Structure 1
Amino acid sequence: MIKKMTQYLLQRRCALSLLLMLMLLQSAMAQTQDRRMYARLDRETQTLTLYYDKNEQASDIAIYDTPLWTYYVERKAIQTVVFDESFKDARPKSCNAWFFCFEGLTRIEHLDYLNTSEVDNMRLMFSKVPTWKHLI
């Protein structure tokens, strides 16, 4: 009887340990999956900042392979683009038309945080940016 009870407790302990380990692993995986690429516009300074973290707000724009800012009028007024340090861990697949029609753009800060190692499309990335050659 004691032998069976010991086996039962060991099995239960192993199962509980395994369950705990799976929960911790799932939590760790969820933390890395929650990070997203997004852009936030400061309308006061006309600065667009790109992030790769878990702090996206409802007013931010998720980054895909389309122009980074949705509204054409605001896109034309953006003067500065900043790559936040968090963006150095992002691996975009495309930068297609990211800065399309950023006609007021005069400065890009921390471009070294943009890792293009997995990018296969940069088509129109700086299209209609009159000063793009002076930005990079």
Structure 2
Amino acid sequence: MRNYLLSLLVALLAVTGSLPVAAQEAYAVLTPDDGTLTFYYDNQYTHFLQNHERIYDMPKPGEKPIWAGDNYARLYQENIKHVVFDISFSEYRPISTRSWFAYCINLQDIEGIRNLNTENVTDMSRMFTGCEALASLDVSNFNTKNVTNMSFMFSFCKALTSLDVSK
């Protein structure tokens, strides 16, 4: 019996050891109940799909993110009230954050922004433009050494009264 259990255990380990491991992906999940957009970089993408969450892929360089609004089309993102950068997102290296929160007119706060690693970012243009409800923002952890475009980064941020850019 003992040999049988040992053989079974070895067989199970051999099978599970050869199973593919899902690759890490960067994505954002919108929880409509409270308007929280959470950014992740892990292998749980399919978990959120199975739970019928609203999932957004990261935009390709030069593209605007699907979750953001668009002033030209008069499409304002009213559902996003809070943004959270999960600790896992600190491993992701975007090269653009262009328009990531553009016209999220009800965005009130951003939690864990230190988990947004900007060391490879070259374009931060319009990143927060039109965030009319955002009153305070601390971007002191941003690494901007490679950034070549910050145009309109904070334009139309009517409520923004506290902005920490110190380093």
Is the 2:76–2:103 contact (alpha carbons within 8 Å) kept by the matching residues of 1?
no
Structure 1: runs of 5+ lacking an equivalent? 1-23
Equivalent of residue 61 in structure 1, options 56, 60, 83: 56
Q: Using the alignment, how far apart are the partners of 2:44 and 2:77 within structure 1?
A: 22
Is the 1:98–1:125 contact (alpha carbons within 8 Å) kept by the matching residues of 2?
yes
Which one has the bigger helix percentage? 1
Q: TM-score, normalised by structure 2?
A: 0.57
Letter in 2 for 1:69: W
Equivalent of residue 37 in structure 1, options 9, 26, 39: 26
Following TM superposition, by how much is the alpha carbon of 1:133 offset from its aligned partner in structure 2, in angstroms?
5.6
- Relative to structure 1, is the Cα distance of residues 54 and 74 closer, same or farther in structure 2, using a 3 angstrom cutoff? farther
Is the 2:39–2:84 contact (alpha carbons within 8 Å) kept by the matching residues of 1?
yes
SS at match of 2:83: strand
Following TM superposition, by how much is the alpha carbon of 1:67 offset from its aligned partner in structure 2, in angstroms?
2.6
Percent identity reads 32
Is the 2:82–2:109 contact (alpha carbons within 8 Å) kept by the matching residues of 1?
yes
Q: How does 1:79-98 map to 2 (within 5 A)?
A: 79-98=81-100
SS at match of 1:75: coil
Aligned residues: CA RMSD: 2.5
Q: Using the alignment, how far apart are the partners of 1:84 and 1:49 within structure 2?
A: 7
| Rg comparison, structure with higher value | 1
Equivalent of residue 118 in structure 1, options 120, 123, 128: 120
- Relative to structure 1, is the Cα distance of residues 100 and 123 closer, same or farther in structure 2, using a 3 angstrom cutoff? same
Q: TM-score, normalised by structure 1?
A: 0.69
Runs of 4+ displaced beyond 4 Å: 70-74
Letter in 2 for 1:39: A
Letter in 1 for 2:65: P
Following TM superposition, by how much is the alpha carbon of 1:135 offset from its aligned partner in structure 2, in angstroms?
2.6
Q: How far does the alpha carbon of each residue in 1:67-104 deviate from its partner, in whole angstroms, 9 at most, with x for none?
A: 35167778223110000010010000100100011100
Is the 2:28–2:38 contact (alpha carbons within 8 Å) kept by the matching residues of 1?
yes
Is the 1:50–1:87 contact (alpha carbons within 8 Å) kept by the matching residues of 2?
yes
Alignment partner, residue 50 of structure 1: 39
Following TM superposition, by how much is the alpha carbon of 1:34 offset from its aligned partner in structure 2, in angstroms?
1.6
Structure 2: runs of 5+ lacking an equivalent? 1-16, 139-167
